[in-house]
């Protein structure tokens, strides 16, 4: 019995359906080769099915196939990017040439509430399908398209397994509200808030299941999502069952993660000599004799394995796809671990002569995570290297800790970094199930009319705890820690729409009209628990929580309509209108209207261009749209409310501790942020689209921006209240170029390039238009106040710092800054607006090739003029990091350059620490080999080796130039990951 048969016999009963009883009589063995009609090159992996049966196969690495079919049966060849081809069986030999879909323009793109033909698109829509995804060990889906789409910046937040990313489409249009795009998975808009106990809510989606990403960049495309579309929309579509014979795919990806870089700190002997020179007698007596590299102690080599078994096929008219996945990844920070088990099922049957299409998607995932205490990273950098890792006794778990002579812990000490990791179990078990049922019904009496209903529930349940034993220094006084946590979330979606699409030949037009209703409810239940000690006893000085739980909830209700019109395949129009109601605003401001209009002119399809040999595509697009934003606003901010203070914050009157009711700040006039955006673009293609691309110009004007606005003192119950007062502009240009320089039987090469320029400028901040105050933002360690400011006339997150003065040798002089206003006093009036954390230019460059059975490629990303404040230098590059406290510490080796003592309160705000962090990163490089048929032709095997985060070219002196907010504190460093993937199809 072959493995395939074994699996089949196991799996089929699961479906409780009887299938696969294709009769053996009269069948013949049909075999042949599938090739590209253009150049005769073999096509690998073409789906070949006998129509009306479940019999099917795929072409192998040389394009060859064989299957059994009755003479007279029809064999269907399907292949992404090629026109479907049908052949009636007559002879045993069948060689087929498939024709590429003309410039992919008949491809259908998911655009939100339906699909559109690519050629009908008028907006800035980018589509990335699985064949173009980044390869390698990807633990979170958005990284699949990093560097692939012009104007979309995806920066991973840390090197933690499964960590999320900061995604910015066209520069971000908000200040305090969210700048994250809306993410929609199979029609289910995801909650913008995270899931408790998970590093990143997107990590629940198995990267393996994703078929495509569609990025709606401009408002003419995104406005169909109305009030949540300000920052663009990313639509994730997962793979569906396609029917045909039962096929299995098994892939396993195994990886090793390694750090090649750590923060340069002083050596043990350097610390010793500094303490002996500058330290107190107490500190001299504290010096140890060890030579401990604390960073080496907290980091390790990470290992990961990600395994997925997919089964797909069709049972009668029930196409299905089932994936089971298991991932286990240890972090490079000791004790960090992410385990994930996922199951996803797609059932895609049709009924009533294909009039009713049903899509059922279930995506379930359970994570089992131990979060390492990231505080250990900074502690390790600053911990005295002369001390040993372990003490000679058993107190405090055996770890070296700073003690007084009597053995008790010193107040305001740093805890042993390794002890911080190994004596803390922050274990979380979030589970999530995203399920949706979509019914699409083509009316029998009017097949151009469809009714579509999508009902979805995104449910998650997270439970976990933090446990610290009573021996750990961190929680020694309270006898350890047991902190319970629990959260439930229900995000329900109901969409209904009617779509009418018809080619009206008489007027040379195609009309596609959709109108619908959408309901979205976000429900969260956060449980509250009192902290207990390691023995689960109460800790002195803690009180019971006031409420066992809280249920924040919000609802969105929408009506919308869209028209896609095409005249003679030359003139295109897309118009949409959405009306959104949100529970987050008062009745007066609850509803907003969001229109859009897109126009396109396909010049190539004009008669005068038809004979033009140079252009294979030339299209002009113009778009306008109004979108909104309400993420980042509290659920009840418009209401005047009172909250009950904790029992530990009561006021004692007589002998009674009275818990109080206090009023919250509120703004009953709160409403949507609005963004008006304009887009003008040219799509072009040459040489039969072997060179193609587009240039987009855009202008995005945000108004009624939410900002935390100071309230005149005592006029509200909070001195800062969220209000719609700001405005901001982004303008930019995006250029995408895809080329296919070599394409022949043996060798195919694609080289793609994208680059985007964005200019971000704040145009209004406060009620008072001439107010010079700005909105300070960006706190950092050892900084008095803020590092950045939002200020009118400048980019958001502009650095606002003192101007350093240097000596004749170019060495910065501690505490000496330019008195910019020449008033003889150095104060915040002398601060200077210097650069922004937001890059001017971002780009991606990637190439991939196939040569015979080999394949390979790389993805590079770059960023120009993103500035980073090196807080590691500022906070740690001073003498008093070593000798300034009661205990000895360590400093960044930047101290050796500056010799700063650390006695000046403005020094950390010096522009000396601001660096241009432009970079070019080799994100990913991979090589693959296709073995073709193996195991006596029972399976095809592919191997893929890849390296992620290969190298970074930058002048930035810190560990990593890629910091989303531009403030480099001690982030969890991003490791280099080597992985080997094996893919077996059978």
Q: Kindly tell me which residue out of 288, 375, 785, 932 binds other proteins, with binding defined by CB under 8 A.
A: 785
- Contact between 16 and other proteins per CB under 8 A: no
Residue of 261, 277, 407, 642 that binds other proteins (CB under 8 A): 642
**Is residue 435 part of the contact set for other proteins (CB under 8 A)?**
no
Site for other proteins in 545-564 (CB under 8 A): 546-547, 549-555, 557
Q: Whole-number minimum distance, CB 888 to other proteins, in Å?
A: 15
Please identify which residue in 81, 92, 643, 793 interacts with other proteins, judged by CB under 8 A.
Answer: 643
Other CB atoms within 10 A of residue 781 CB: 14
Does 821 engage in binding with other proteins (CB under 8 A)?
no
Q: Which of 13, 72, 541, 810 binds other proteins (CB under 8 A)?
A: 541
d(CA 783, CA 766): 25
- Looking up tokens 């049903």 gives 358
Verify binding: residue 635, other proteins, rule CB under 8 A: yes
Contacts of 896-900 with C-beta under 8 Å, sequence gap 24+, read 896/266, 896/270, 897/811, 898/811, 898/812, 898/814, 899/811, 899/814, 900/812, 900/814
Collapsing DSSP states into helix, strand and coil, what is residue 860? Answer: strand
Residues within window 868-907 making contact with other proteins, judged by CB under 8 A: 880, 884, 886, 901-905
Indicate whether 375 belongs to the interface with other proteins (CB under 8 A): no
CB of 445 to other proteins, least distance (A): 9
Site string for other proteins, 379-418 (x = CB under 8 A): -------------------------------xxx------
Stretch that binds other proteins, among 123-131, 367-375, 539-547, 621-629 (CB under 8 A): 539-547
d(CA 275, CA 279): 4
Torsion angle (degrees, nearest 10) of CA 79, 80, 83, 88: 20
Question: Which residues inside 702-731 make contact with other proteins, applying CB under 8 A?
Answer: 708-720
Do the Cβ atoms of 222 and 229 come closer than 8 Å? yes
What kind and span of H or E run contains 230?
none
Q: By CB under 8 A, what part of segment 272-301 binds other proteins?
A: 280
Helices marked H in 815-970: 871-876, 880-883, 894-898
Cα dihedral value 914, 919, 924, 927, nearest 10: -150
Identify which range of 202-210, 214-222, 370-378, 640-648 contacts other proteins by CB under 8 A.
Answer: 640-648
The rounded radius of gyration (Å) of the Cα atoms in the chain is: 31
- The residue ranges of DSSP E strands in 278-416, in sequence order, are 302-315, 318-330, 337-347, 350-351, 356-371
The residue (of 269 and 546) whose beta carbon lies closer to other proteins is 546
Contact call for residue 827 and other proteins (CB under 8 A):
yes
**How far, in Å, are 41, 83, 621, 713, 842 from residue 107 at the CA level?**
22, 10, 18, 59, 28
Task: Kindly state the smallest distance separating residue 193's Cβ from other proteins, in Å.
Answer: 16
Name the residue nearer to other proteins (CB basis): 546 or 612: 546
Residues 571-610: x where in contact with other proteins by CB under 8 A, - otherwise, as a string:
----------xxx------x--------------------
By CB under 8 A, name the one of 517, 529, 601, 833 that touches other proteins: 517
In 780-878, which ranges are continuous DSSP H helix?
871-876
Stretch that binds other proteins, among 183-191, 599-607, 684-692, 764-772 (CB under 8 A): 764-772
Assess contact for 813 and 835: CB atoms under 8 A.
no
Whole-number minimum distance, CB 512 to other proteins, in Å? 20
Of the residues 20, 28, 87, 356, which one makes contact with other proteins according to CB under 8 A: 356
Residue 826: CB atoms within 10 A of its CB come to 17
Least distance to other proteins, CB of residue 402, Å: 12
> Which of 84, 503, 661, 935 contacts other proteins by CB under 8 A?
661
Q: Judged by CB under 8 A, does residue 647 bind other proteins?
A: yes
Q: Which of residues 154-213 bind other proteins (CB under 8 A)?
A: none
User: In the complex, what is the shortest distance from the CB of residue 35 to other proteins, in angstroms, rounded to a whole number?
Assistant: 43
Residue 927 near other proteins by CB under 8 A: no
Of the candidates 945, 962, 946, which has an alpha carbon nearest to the alpha carbon of residue 954? 962
Query: What is the rounded distance in angstroms from the CA atom of residue 316 to the CA atom of residue 125?
Result: 36
- Binding of residue 470 to other proteins (CB under 8 A): no
Q: Rule CB under 8 A: is residue 543 a binding residue for other proteins?
A: yes
Residue 425's H or E segment, with its range, is strand 425-442
Give Cβ neighbours of residue 83 (< 8 Å, ≥ 6 apart): 98, 99, 100, 101
Report the residue number, 517 or 931, with the smaller CB distance to other proteins. 517
In sequence order, what are the beta bridge partners of 540? none
Residue 823 contacts other proteins per CB under 8 A? no
Are the C-beta atoms of residues 890 and 383 closer than 8 Å to each other?
yes
Q: Which of 519, 527, 678, 929 binds other proteins (CB under 8 A)?
A: 519
536, 820, 829, 955: residue in contact with other proteins (rule CB under 8 A): 829
d(CA 50, CA 845): 41
């Amino acid at each position: 019995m072959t493995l395939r048969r074994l699996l089949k016999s196991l799996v089929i009963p699961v479906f409780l359906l009887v299938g696969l009883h294709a009769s053996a009589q009269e069948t013949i063995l049909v075999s042949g080769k599938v090739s590209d009609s253009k150049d005769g090159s073999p096509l690998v992996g073409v789906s070949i099915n006998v129509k009306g049966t479940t019999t099917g196969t795929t072409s192998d690495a040389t394009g060859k196939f064989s299957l059994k079919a009755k003479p007279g049966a029809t064999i269907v060849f399907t292949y992404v990017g090629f026109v479907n081809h049908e052949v009636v069986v007559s002879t045993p030999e069948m060689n087929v040439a498939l024709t590429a879909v003309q410039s992919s323009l008949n491809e259908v793109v998911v655009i939100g509430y339906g699909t559109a033909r690519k050629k009908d698109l008028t907006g800035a829509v980018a589509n990335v399908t699985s064949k173009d995804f980044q390869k390698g060990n990807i633990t979170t889906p958005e990284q699949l398209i990093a560097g692939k789409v012009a104007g979309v910046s995806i920066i991973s937040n840390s090197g933690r397994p499964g960590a999320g990313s900061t995604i910015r489409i066209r520069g971000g249009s908000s200040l305090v509200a969210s700048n994250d795009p809306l993410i929609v998975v199979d029609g289910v808009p995801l909650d913008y808030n995270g899931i408790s106990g998970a590093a990143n809510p997107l990590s629940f989606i198995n990267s393996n299941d994703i078929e495509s990403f569609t990025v709606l960049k401009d408002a003419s495309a995104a406005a169909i999502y109305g009030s949540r579309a300000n920052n663009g929309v990313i639509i994730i579509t997962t793979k569906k069952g396609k029917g045909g014979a039962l096929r299995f795919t098994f892939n396993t990806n195994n990886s090793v993660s390694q750090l090649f870089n750590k923060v340069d700190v002083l050596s043990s002997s350097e610390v010793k000599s500094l303490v002996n020179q500058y330290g107190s007698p107490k500190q001299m007596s504290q010096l140890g004799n060890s030579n401990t590299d604390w960073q080496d102690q907290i980091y390790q080599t990470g290992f990961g394995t990600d395994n997925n078994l997919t089964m797909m096929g069709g049972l009668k008219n029930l196409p299905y796809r089932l994936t089971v996945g298991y991932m286990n990844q240890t972090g490079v920070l000791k004790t960090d671990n992410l385990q994930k088990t996922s199951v996803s099922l797609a059932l895609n049957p049709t009924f009533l002569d294909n009039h009713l299409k049903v899509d059922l998607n279930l995506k379930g995932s359970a994570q089992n995570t131990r979060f390492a205490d990231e505080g250990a990273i900074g502690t390790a950098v600053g911990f005295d290297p002369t001390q040993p890792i372990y003490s000679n006794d058993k107190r405090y778990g055996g770890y070296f800790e700073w003690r007084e002579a009597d053995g008790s812990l010193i107040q305001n000490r740093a805890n042993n970094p390794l002890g911080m990791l190994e004596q803390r179990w922050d274990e979380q078990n979030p589970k999530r199930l995203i399920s949706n049922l979509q019914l699409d019904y083509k009316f029998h009496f009017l097949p151009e009319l469809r009714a579509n209903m999508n009902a979805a529930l995104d449910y998650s349940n997270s439970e976990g705890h933090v446990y610290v034993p009573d021996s750990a220094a961190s929680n020694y006084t309270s006898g350890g820690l047991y902190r319970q946590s629990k959260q439930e979330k229900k995000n329900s979606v109901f969409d209904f729409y009617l779509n009418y699409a018809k080619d009206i030949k008489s007027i040379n037009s195609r009309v596609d009209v959709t109108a619908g209703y959408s309901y979205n409810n976000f429900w969260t239940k956060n449980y509250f628990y009192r902290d207990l000690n390691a023995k689960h006893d109460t800790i002195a000085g803690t009180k019971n929580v006031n409420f066992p739980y809280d249920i924040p909830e919000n609802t969105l209700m929408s009506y919308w309509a869209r028209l896609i019109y095409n005249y003679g395949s030359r003139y295109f129009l897309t118009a949409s209108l959405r009306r959104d109601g949100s529970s987050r605003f008062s009745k007066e401001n609850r509803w907003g209207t969001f229109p859009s209009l897109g126009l396109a002119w396909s010049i190539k399809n004009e008669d005068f261009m038809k004979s033009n040999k140079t252009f294979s595509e030339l299209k002009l697009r113009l778009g306008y749209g109004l979108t909104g934003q309400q993420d980042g606003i509290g659920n009840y901010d418009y209401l005047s409310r009172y909250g009950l203070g904790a029992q530990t914050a009561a006021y004692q009157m007589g002998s009674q501790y009275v818990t109080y009711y206090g009023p919250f700040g509120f703004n009953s006039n709160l409403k949507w942020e609005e963004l008006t955006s304009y887009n003008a673009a040219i799509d072009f293609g040459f040489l039969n689209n072997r060179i193609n691309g587009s240039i987009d110009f855009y202008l995005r004007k945000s108004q009624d921006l939410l900002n935390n606005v100071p309230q005149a003192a005592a006029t509200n119950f909070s001195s800062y209240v969220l209000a719609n007062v700001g405005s901001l502009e982004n303008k930019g240009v995006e250029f995408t170029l895809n080329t296919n320089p070599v394409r022949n039987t043996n060798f195919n090469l694609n080289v793609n390039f994208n680059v985007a320029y964005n200019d971000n400028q704040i145009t209004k901040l406060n009620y008072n238009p001439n107010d010079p105050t700005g909105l300070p933002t960006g706190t950092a360690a050892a900084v008095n106040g803020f590092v950045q400011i939002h200020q009118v006339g400048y980019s958001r997150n502009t650095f606002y710092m003192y101007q350093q003065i240097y000596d004749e040798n170019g060495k910065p002089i501690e505490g000496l800054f330019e008195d910019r206003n020449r008033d003889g006093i150095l104060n915040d009036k002398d601060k200077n607006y210097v650069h922004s954390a937001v890059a001017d230019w971002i780009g991606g460059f990637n190439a991939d090739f196939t040569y015979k059975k080999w394949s390979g490629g790389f993805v590079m990303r770059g960023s120009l003029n993103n500035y980073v404040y090196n807080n590691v230098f500022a906070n740690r590059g001073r003498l008093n990091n070593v000798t300034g406290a009661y205990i000895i510490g360590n400093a960044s080796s930047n101290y050796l350059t500056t010799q700063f003592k650390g006695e000046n309160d403005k020094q950390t705000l010096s522009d000396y620490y601001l660096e241009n962090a432009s970079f070019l990163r080799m994100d990913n490089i991979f090589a693959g080999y296709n073995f073709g048929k193996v195991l006596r032709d029972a399976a095809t095997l592919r191997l893929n080796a890849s390296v992620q985060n290969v190298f970074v070219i930058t002048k930035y002196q810190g560990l990593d130039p890629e910091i989303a907010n531009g403030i480099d504190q001690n982030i969890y460093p991003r490791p280099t990951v080597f992985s080997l993937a094996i893919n077996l199809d059978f």
